[in-house]
Structure 1
Amino acid sequence: MCGIAGYWNSDGASPDVMTLAGMVAIQRHRGPDGYGWHVDHERGLGMAHTRLAIIDLDERSRQPLLSANGEIAVTVNGELYDFQKIRADLYARGDRFRTKSDSEILLHLYPRYGIEGTLSYLRGEFAFALFDRRSDTLFLARDRFGIKPLYYYADQDRLIFSSEMKGIFAHPDVPRSFSEEGLFHQLMQTQVPGTTPYTGIRQVPPGRFLAVRRKRNGGFHIEQHTYWDADFPLAGEWRFTDEKDAIERVRASLLDAIQARLVADVPVGCYLSGGIDSCSILGLAAACRQDPVKAFTIGFDDAGYDESPIAKRMAASTGADQDIMMLRGEDLYTSFVDTHWHTERTIYNTLGVAKFLMSRHVRDEGYRVVLTGEGSDELFAGYPGFRRDYFLRSDQASGSHHERRLQSSNALFRGAMLSENEIDNSALNALCGFTPSSLQPWLAAGSDVPALLHPTIRASLRGYDPGGAIAETLSADRIRGRHPLDIAQYVWIKTMLEGQILTWGGDRVDMAHSMEARPAFLDHNLAAVAFQIAPDLRIREGREKHVLREAMKGLLPEELYNREKFAFMAPPAHRNEEKSRAFSDLAADFLSDEAIEEAGLLDRQGVRELERRRRHPSGDQAELVRIDALLNHALGVQILRRNLLSSDLPAKAKRLALQKEQTPAAS
């Protein structure tokens, strides 16, 4: 795993090397093991790379990499699994390699198969930039689920790309401000796919690539292409309807995904909570290894949210070497500001801070790689909202019974994972046939957002429909004619998985401390199986992830095999006096009347009213959870504005680049 950055001047002017160096130096946390840059002076293109050595620790693997004839340049962030097989096949065809790096296969696949053919070969989590001098084309590509980030900014003069937005902000000509719509979505939690909170900065969406070419009169022509999407079949056309067949395919595919991700030239550990997902990963990883697996667990001082007791029993059953990091409520606001420097977006729950602290602990323990359980809920219908949509939208006679059961058993997560009231959005209803339950809590929070916005911004966004903005980005061809459960899972994959779980809950807090997380469930070969499993094998008799439970039955402790999905979240501030006080200490700085007025983003009276509602709630647990989330977002907006959007960021990046240990080497 690494960090990449670069920019292309539309007039062909040679990029400034110090600016290029600063763009990766500001991301040095992503890769402290080496720095490199390449400038094509004739074409006006520069690429840079900061490296975390996981595969092939040799210095010769320093990036950017150039083809033997110098016509192709590539810089890569991520891991490409099965690269050994691809190398062997290409070697048999006459290709010769200069390094042992997995990234070098791109220089050999692309001339043979083109960009789409190359992407079809790749397995893993990755984002890369590839420049073809012959066609004067820059390709920006991202993995199928969006595990690895890739952002870009384009105007008439230049196109800039980076693994993190701070790398783009390190360029002095990029505006550093919230967009109005981006600010709205930061306060309500759910981003519009493909967008960011900031003016002019976009994401390369998961499963897509950009083909960028210069226009004759300045600027760039940018084409976006889809090479992969979550492919749920039409209702009734599922391939796996036999339970035994589905169980065997899931077990074999998951084992294969884990084996691929255990390959590294450094030690590999596992994250372990008390859920089926991480326990399955640990159990299969332990079966593949001859030595004990290092298992890292987060524990909370709130028994309602602490899963460490179950995790202990799972670790003991596999002979794992368990390491438990216990966190107090106030610990989660101590690092709230530092976490936002890395997430570059607001977070509704301090789980992101907990994972930030855990990645630091993992690094300090000498580990750079862990396997994680993210993606299981998306593939096997684990979240309570999926069950809600399955029972209420599938003509299930017992729908109302299961709805009551869901609301009761998920009381802690109402207001976040479940909305306490039905929320309808006309645009989503028109597209999906219903408003997916996974979006309803955030649409409910969206009704509180206008009161938090500065009056000028509020007036500009009057009538704005956040649900409609999300619906416009979703593929109708992948939704219409599908089963309600498939629709619910698809919408979550395109919104919450990429925009939340894999960003502030994944890459950004993991790589904050040069720690690589490998989510084995998000292997696209396993996903291809999961998408074809009939809904009644994913949810059976009200129980989620039925087929996965059965596939892992002999591996899981009995209590875990029978346990209902428990969302892994940190305790909200309202549940803990010390944590609430820690929040208030931060708010006294970032949400003071003076700070709010100076930033010009929020409405002072709106923030004060929200604080009053938390002190004197008129509703139930769900309202308090939603208020906590809104206050976290408001605090996060102010933190991001002060620290990330600071006008001295380009100067800070150059200072880092000038430090001797940060100076990159030319390729």
Structure 2
Amino acid sequence: MCGIAGIINSTAQSPERLRNLATKMATAINHRGPDGDGIWTDADNRVALAHKRLSIVDLTPSGAQPMISHCGNYIMVYNGEVYNATEIAAELRKTGTIFRGTSDTEVILGAIAQWGLNETIEKLIGMFSLALWDIRTKTLTLVRDRLGIKPLYWSFVNDTFIFASELKALLHHPVCPREVNKGAISSYLQKCYINGPDSIYCGVHKLLPGHLLTLVSGKSPKIREFWSMSNVAKSGTDNQFDGSIEEAEAHLEALVKSATSMRMLSDVPLGAFLSGGVDSSLVAALMQHESSKPIKTFSIGFEDSQFNEAPHAAEVAKHLGTDHTELYVTPQNAMDVIPNLHTIFDEPFSDPSQIPTYLLCKMTRQHVTVALSGDGGDELFTGYERYFTVNNNSAILKQPRIIRNTGARILNSISPVWANRMRTILPGRVSHLLAGHKIHRIPPALRDGQLATLYQSTLAHYSQPNNLMLSDEEIDDPVYQQAQSIKFKDSFSLMQFIDTLDYLPGDILTKLDRTSMATSLEARVPLLDHRIVEFAWTLPQIYKAGNGEGKRILKNVLYKHVPRNLIERPKMGFGVPIGQWLRGPLNSWAEDLLSHDSLKSTGILDPNIIRKHWNQHKKHQVNWEYHLWDVLNLQSWAINNSI
């Protein structure tokens, strides 16, 4: 794992200044690659490529970057791992290619020289963001992996093009835009993250997963998609697996074994995150099956039993015979992390599990350099409880428009305080959907009548963020538009599609990348091997969400390795008691950021509304924990960036 950065400036600039700027950009992301660095510049074409190295495979200087191809036509900086590099290298040797070392960087360059960039990308199995400079055609190409596991930011201003693994590197270049994107803030207040292609700054973009950007010197960048989630979903829907569930299980197990085994390739110590849930337990079990000695596993625990999965993880670790380490998180641990969150993420990000994930990565890095994670199982195999909640309540969308509009008006008239009091007399699933502030999420879906809108409303924190913002700006949400253009056979598939394109790269993978890289730990995600993703989309939904619960087929594979009784329990998720902490040990910190003066000074949100929510939360009238966590992280980011 590494960090990359680069500049192309079509205007005159001294070689020294070009190198100095690239060095500053790379230094800002030193945590991504503390083992080495390199700068390559082409003064004539005013190009600079920078690299920070975290040595994982081929620890020798032969793996250093920026790396020039043997033919001398290409130079590349690259962040990630390609797990089938050995197989590709064997194929290239048949053509006469000779390798100096064993790094996947050299293999990728050799493949590009032999087959071209497009054919090479199709062959790669792994996670990657890379920048390739073609010396002959004076063309830069940026590429981001299919699922968005590795990040890549870019900006093009006044004929200067800059890119980097993290936003903080771009900010070290003087042309980087710094105008706050109010539309992105509106989106953030709904989701708790800012998904691509937008960022917190106008004019700074995230290259979307499965896309590449091409820039010919002196021209504007062009972007195209090389792997399409829409095509995967359409193809899977139209060409469903027609074998038995037992046959599907056998094929899935073979794929997951292959993906896991590939991701165990490393020249440094590696281990696995283990929560005791389905996904992480399966990854750990298959790792242990591949290993001749106990693998290292790591988990986080809480004193509050409502959030504590550590005992379950310990039971699974004991059964598998792993070398297990756990850490119990205290409010003080959280307080120690919170001041650094704005630096770790660079833009507002407020999934509360960012705290335990960072602490888990920090602890894990004390023992290993690489850790495998179970992320992706929920999105691929219908694992989230919310899928079933929305599906079971979707009948309301089929009611006549006049009934839906009347229902929307009634729900809008009920205050969150009264909604909390009503929940004791409502059925369980309905109560969960309408509790407290959630009651105001549903009216937009009732008016619209679309399942995608109902799902979007269910996920939203602030369903109407412009009501509390001092400016009225929004950005389009292309993911939901794509979802509505595909004829899915069931509601579960639509929700999984949305999450794979939005929640997965915007929240889950952003959190994993930033927290792991902040501790110089490489995190790998075998369940997001694109071969597994493509196969999962061919499976009939009954194989994934059978018997009223998710991950049916994944659980069946797991139960071949771990007893059912160690796994079957209500899903917890990787949450933290943030609501309690805000009323207790984090109260003083929160009060400072949510004071009327502080809110007024940043000038983003209406102080009166936020103060009202804060007071209601402190008095236990309405649980605004996630909304307030959104606001607190936004305020912290704004103040620390002098907004």
Structure 1 500/630 Cα, relative in aligned 2: closer, same or farther at 3 Å? same
Name the structure 2 match of 1:658: none
SS at match of 1:335: helix
Instruction: Please report how far the alpha carbon of residue 97 of structure 1 lies from its aligned counterpart in structure 2 after TM superposition.
Output: 1.8
CA drift at 1:404:
5.6
Q: Rate the CA distance shift 1:322–1:237 in 2: closer, same or farther, 3 A.
A: same
Name 2:25's counterpart in structure 1.
Answer: 23
The structural deviation recorded for 1:200 is 1.3
Match of 2:460 among 435, 443, 449: 443
| Residues 1:589 and 1:226: Cα distance change in structure 2 (over 3 Å) | same
Q: Classify the secondary structure of the residue corresponding to 1:146.
A: coil
Secondary structure, counterpart of 1:194 in structure 2: coil
SS of the equivalent of 1:548 reads helix
SS of aligned partner of 2:108: helix
Three-state SS of the structure 2 residue aligned to 1:49 is: strand
Q: Which residue is equivalent to 1:310? A: 312
Q: Determine the C-alpha separation between the residues in 1 that align with 2:222 and 2:238.
A: 38
Equivalent residue runs for 1:484-503 within 5 Å: 484-503=491-510
Structure 2 residue identity aligned to 1:350: P
Pairing partner for 2:130 from 104, 128, 131? 128
2:498 partner SS: helix
Flag the 1:66–1:252 CA change in 2: closer, same or farther, 3 A. same
CA distance in 1, matches of 2:335, 2:228: 39
Tell me how far 1:285 sits from its aligned partner: 0.7
The 3 A distance-change label for structure 1 pair 618 and 252 is: same
Q: Measured at CA, do residues 420 and 193 of structure 1 come closer, stay the same or move farther in structure 2, by a change above 3 Å?
A: farther
SS at match of 1:6: strand
**Equivalent of residue 510 in structure 1, options 495, 516, 521:** 516
The residue correspondences of 1:311-460 to structure 2 (distance < 5 A) are 311-365=313-367, 367-392=368-393, 423=442, 425=444, 433-435=450-452, 438-443=455-460, 445-447=462-464, 449-453=465-469, 455=470, 457=471, 460=472
User: Match for residue 632 of structure 1?
Assistant: 629
Where do residues 569-580 of structure 1 align in structure 2 (5 Å cutoff)?
Answer: 569-573=575-579, 575-576=580-581, 580=583
SS in 1 for 2:197: coil
Alignment partners' CA distance in 2, 1:210 and 1:512: 27
Change (3 A) 1:295 1:617: same
- TM-superposed CA distance for 1:580, in Å, is 3.0
Partner of 2:104, secondary structure, is coil
Which one is further off, 308-317 or 387-396? 387-396
**In the aligned structure 2, how far is the partner of 1:182 from the partner of 1:444?**
14
What is the count of residue pairs matched by the alignment?
611
> Which sits farther off after the overlay, 482-491 or 39-48?
482-491
Deviation at 1:284, TM superposition (A): 1.0
Find the counterpart in structure 2 of residue 2 from structure 1.
Answer: 2
Structure 2 SS opposite 1:348: coil
Alignment match, 1:657: none
Q: Which is further off, 633-642 or 236-245?
A: 236-245
Q: Which amino acid counterpart does residue 605 of structure 2 have in structure 1?
A: L
- In the TM superposition, residue 520 of structure 1 has moved relative to its aligned partner by 0.8
Displacement of 1:109:
1.6
Following the alignment from structure 2 to structure 1, what is the Cα–Cα distance between the partners of residues 143 and 376? 21
What is the aligned partner in structure 1 of residue 407 from structure 2? none
Q: How does 1:196-215 map to 2 (within 5 A)?
A: 196-215=199-218
Match of 1:663 in 2: none
Equivalents in 2 of 1:379, 1:499: separation in Å?
A: 16
SS at match of 1:47: strand
Change (3 A) 1:489 1:476: closer
Q: Secondary structure at the match of 2:308?
A: coil
Counterpart pick for 2:98 among 96, 99, 102: 96
Structure 1 unmatched runs, 5+:
398-402, 648-667
Relative distance call for 1:40 and 1:95 in structure 2 (3 A) is same
Query: In 2, distance between residues paired with 1:380 and 1:207?
Result: 21
Residue 380 and residue 50 in structure 1: after superposition, are their counterparts in 2 closer, same or farther (change >3 A)?
A: same
Q: Partner letter of residue 305 of structure 1? A: F
* Aligned partners of 2:236 and 2:538 also within 8 Å: no
Query: Are the aligned partners of 1:427 and 1:471 in contact in 2 as well (CA < 8 Å)?
Result: no
How far does the alpha carbon of each residue in 1:6-45 deviate from its partner, in whole angstroms, 9 at most, with x for none? 1111236456211110101011111100010111112111
Q: Which runs of 5+ in 2 are unaligned?
A: 399-425
Match of 1:298 among 293, 297, 300: 300
Instruction: Return the letter of the residue paired with 1:30.
Output: R
Q: 1:66 aligns with which of 65, 68, 85?
A: 68
Contact 1:386–1:437 (Cα < 8 Å) also in 2: no
Q: Tell me the amino acid that sits aligned with residue 245 of structure 1.
A: E
Shift of 1:368: 0.8
Matched, 1:287 2:284: no
| Higher RCO (CA < 8 A, seq sep 6+) | 1
For 1:445, what is the secondary structure of its paired residue? Answer: coil
1:150 lines up with 2:152 in the alignment: yes
Matched residue SS, 1:104:
helix
Rounded to whole Å, the distance in 1 between the matches of 2:376 and 2:126 is 13
Q: TM-score, normalised by structure 2?
A: 0.89
1:111-153 superposed Cα distances (whole Å, 9 cap, x missing partner): 3333221110111111001111222221111111111100101
User: Cα distance 1:45–1:482, how it changes in 2: closer, same or farther (>3 A)?
Assistant: farther
Change (3 A) 1:396 1:603: closer
Partner of 1:45: 47
For residues 485 and 540 of structure 1, the distance between their equivalents in structure 2, rounded to whole angstroms, comes to 12
Aligned partner of 2:619 in structure 1 is 616
Distance 1:436 1:606, change over 3 A: closer
Q: Does 1:555 align with 2:561?
A: yes
1:603-648: per-residue Cα shift (whole Å, max 9, x none)? 32232122112123445xxxx1xx21221122211222233x359x
TM-score by length of 1: 0.86
Aligned-residue offset at 1:395 = 12
Q: Is the 8 A contact 1:388 1:406 kept in 2?
A: yes
Q: Which amino acid aligns with 1:568?
A: F
In structure 2, the CA distance between the partners of 1:43 and 1:240, relative to structure 1 (3 Å rule), is farther
SS state at 1:212 partner: strand
Within 1, Cα distance between the matches of 2:173 and 2:133?
20
Please name the residue that 1:483 is paired with. 490
Quote the Cα distance in structure 1 between the aligned partners of 2:591 and 2:392: 45
Deviation of residue 99 (structure 1)?
2.5
Specify the code of the residue in structure 1 equivalent to 2:462. Answer: A
For 1:12 and 1:213, how far apart are their aligned partners in 2? 17
Shift of residue 474, structure 1, vs aligned partner = 4.7
Give, in whole Å, the separation in 2 of the partners of 1:629 and 1:85.
46
Partner Cα separation in structure 2 for residue 265 and residue 478 of structure 1: 45
The residue number in structure 2 matching 1:582 is 585
Contact 2:74 / 2:109 at 8 angstroms: preserved in 1?
A: yes
Q: Distance in 1 between matches of 2:27 and 2:205?
A: 21
Aligned-partner residue type, residue 9 of structure 1: N
User: How much does 1:500 deviate?
Assistant: 0.3
Offset of 1:208 from its aligned partner?
0.9
Report the equivalent of 2:535: 529
- The residue aligned with 1:641 is 638
Distance 1:436 1:561, change over 3 A: farther
1:35 equivalent in structure 2: 37
- State the AA in 1 paired with 2:495: A
Q: Which of 98, 110, 135 is the aligned partner of 1:108?
A: 110
Contact 1:424/1:435 (<8 A) preserved: no
Rounded to whole Å, the distance in 2 between the matches of 1:191 and 1:477 is 21
- Asked if the contact 2:193–2:348 (Cα under 8 Å) also holds between the matched residues in 1, the reply is no
